[in-house]
Amino acid sequence: MQQAWQSYLKDSVKLSDAMTDSVLAIRMQYRPQMREIFTDQSSSTSDKQTKMENLRKEMEEHYKAAGLTDDQIHTIHEHEDAMRARRSGGGR
């Protein structure tokens, strides 16, 4: 999975090796929190969506600090959304 993301970031988002490493590190940093939100059986779907959106905004700030443009961040989010839709069977 990490290798696929690395290829995507380099080929589709056109990031340098250093920026690719930064994005992957940021994703790894937030992965445990995302997993916790996703597996929290006590939260409603709406609560989970709100929590995930807040994490996504935090990640955006880290991406911007790493030097990504708004367009690059948007491209990453589109890819994440497409992957999420495929995992859930086609979307919302």
Domain boundaries defined on the chain: 2-87
Q: What is the mean pLDDT of each run of 10 residues along the chain (92 residues)?
A: 89 94 95 93 93 94 96 93 81 48
Residue whose token pair is 């988002």: 13
Percent of the chain with pLDDT over 90: 79
Q: What does pTM read for this prediction?
A: 0.83
How many CA atoms lie within 13 Å of 89's alpha carbon, on the beta-carbon side? Answer: 0
